[in-house]
Structure 1
């Protein structure tokens, strides 16, 4: 899954002398064994990731102990390497969380795909660094280097929480940078909620994002036992905040697909992930559609919203033997299948 070096890491491999003077704190869009490459040529880096899949993979493939969560632990770091995430807002967030751990004079590096926002590195670092230099460019990727010249203020997680109302449900949604549906309810989720109907028993919100679906279901069906899973730590944190903001309760935990899920459900409901990094991403949803029936009680249902052009009905039929289209508009369709 993460075995081959990405073009960004291949470019970084030309700069190991610069990157391996000190144990760097590495975070952002980690998609390969760049930490292992750095460790082989210098002091082992400290790795912080918001991606549970990557956390599990790296934990099992070398002796490092990566950190998984919405922010790194408050342990001082000697330098920082940020691999540019897809969302610029998330890059701002990660810098705000990590730079306070560095002393003045510490090196700061930002690397990424040239089409992925890395060219914004000078602006991103301007509040804390006098000069930001582009030190390499290859494989359609670039590396920027700077020195921390002004101490970064202590990280305050609450400053990064956004909120917007769901007036129909009388709910407030809490969001964090980079989390899906960060500042408004997307049209697909609205269509799903409008067609979910009454639910009962044990319900799984798969790929919970900011917790919109789960909170809405709890408000409409207060008797359900809700579990919310996501691969992204910022999404999990946002879901917990949304629940707390609205006086609701659910079990929220990280899971790569259904890997950490136990037992059987009366309903699995999802607006599943469609993009990962800079690439269109279907694998997680395809696995869900193939495996969901094994996690449902007899008579339990899978309820899904998806872009109308995606070939999900065929996959649902392969897993369940049937697929019902509950609703559709010009862009989205709601699918249901029963175990």
Structure 2
């Protein structure tokens, strides 16, 4: 899945002489075997990722023990390589979380796709580094290099947590950079909540994001047993904070699709993702639609919202034998299927 090098890593492989002088802390949009390439040509890097799928994959490599979470562990690092994430706010967050682990004079690198925001590297590094140099550009990707010129302030998660209020639900939603619905309740989730009806039993919030769906369901159906899963450590932390902020409880854990869940559910509910990095990405949702029936109790339901143009009803019908459209507007549709 991650074996082939991306164009960004292809460009970085031309610069191993400067990247492999010390073991780097590598983080950001990790999509390939770049850490192994670095380990083959120098000291093994330390890899921190907020992506559970990548964490699991890289964990099978003998040379590297990756870290998964919303922030890296507090041990010092000799340098940093940030692979530019999709959201600039997430890049700022990762720099704030990682740079306090470096000493003054340590090298700092930012690399990424030219269409993915990497050109903002000088501005991103300005608070920490006096000079930023563009050292390479190839394959529509660029690499910037700098040196930490002043100690970074200790990382404080609360500085990066934002809140917004849902008056109809009487909920306060906590969010972190890069998490879906980070600024407000999106229209698709609102339509889903308006048509979710009354739920009972064991409920799974698939791809929980900032926890809006799960927290709303708990408010409306306090007797349910809720589990929330996501591939993103930042999403899980945002959901944890949302639950705590509203005095609610659920079982949160990382999962690549349904792989880490156990037993069967009365309902699986989701506003599933279809973007990953710079690419449109459907496979997670397609796998969910194919597998969900096997994770539901007899009579249990799959309930999801999707962009109206996506061909999900056909996939649902193939797996469940039927697909009901509960609601629709110009952009979104709400689908339900029963096991």
TM-score range, shorter chain: over 0.9
Please tell me whether the aligned partners of residues 324 and 336 of structure 1 are also in contact (alpha carbons under 8 angstroms).
Answer: yes
What is the CA-CA distance between 1:134 and the residue it aligns to?
0.2
For residues 75 and 34 of structure 2, the distance between their equivalents in structure 1, rounded to whole angstroms, comes to 21
Which residue does 1:14 correspond to in 2?
14
Counterpart residue number, 1:78: 78
2:297 is the counterpart of 1:297: yes
Question: Distance between the aligned counterparts of 2:261 and 2:156, measured in 1?
Answer: 32
Whole-angstrom distance in 1 between the partners of 2:320 and 2:127: 54
What's the TM-score once normalised by structure 2's chain length? Answer: 1.00
1:93/1:160 contact within 8 Å kept:
yes
| Residue correspondence of structure 1 range 194-273 to structure 2 within 5 A | 194-273=194-273
* 1:37 match: 37
Distance in 1 of aligned mates of 2:128 and 2:297: 54
Instruction: Give the structure 2 partner of residue 60 of structure 1.
Output: 60
Deviation (angstroms), 1:60: 1.0
For structure 1, the 5+ residue unaligned runs are none
* Partner residue, 2:134: 134
State the alpha-carbon separation in 2 of the partners of residues 320 and 63 from structure 1. Answer: 43
Runs of 4+ with >4 A deviation: none
CA contact (8 A) 2:84 2:111 kept: yes
Task: Output the CA distance in 2 between the equivalents of 1:267 and 1:62.
Answer: 39
Q: Secondary structure at the match of 2:144?
A: strand
Q: Which residue of 2 aligns with 1:274?
A: 274
Match of 1:174 in 2: 174
User: How far 1:62 sits from its partner (Å)?
Assistant: 3.2
Three-state SS of the structure 2 residue aligned to 1:37 is helix
Q: Distance in 1 between matches of 2:310 and 2:3?
A: 28
Please give the per-residue CA displacement for 1:39-81, whole angstroms capped at 9, x wherever unaligned. Answer: 0000000000000000000001333110000000000000000
- Rounded to whole Å, the distance in 2 between the matches of 1:242 and 1:208 is 11
Secondary structure, in 3 states, of the residue corresponding to 1:130?
strand
Which residue in the other structure is 2:121 paired with? 121
Q: Retained in 2: the 8 A contact 1:36–1:62? A: no
| C-alpha distance in structure 1 between counterparts of 2:290 and 2:274, whole Å | 17
3-state SS of the aligned residue for 1:309?
coil
- Distance in structure 2 (CA, Å) of the matches to 1:162 and 1:183: 8
Counterparts of 2:101 and 2:156, CA distance in 1 = 13
Aligned length: 339
TM superposition shift of 1:207: 0.2
Contact kept, 8 Å, 1:3 with 1:33, in 2: the verdict is yes
Partner SS for 1:131: strand
Aligned to 2:109: 109
Instruction: Give the TM-score taking structure 1 as reference length.
Output: 1.00
Shift of 1:325: 0.1
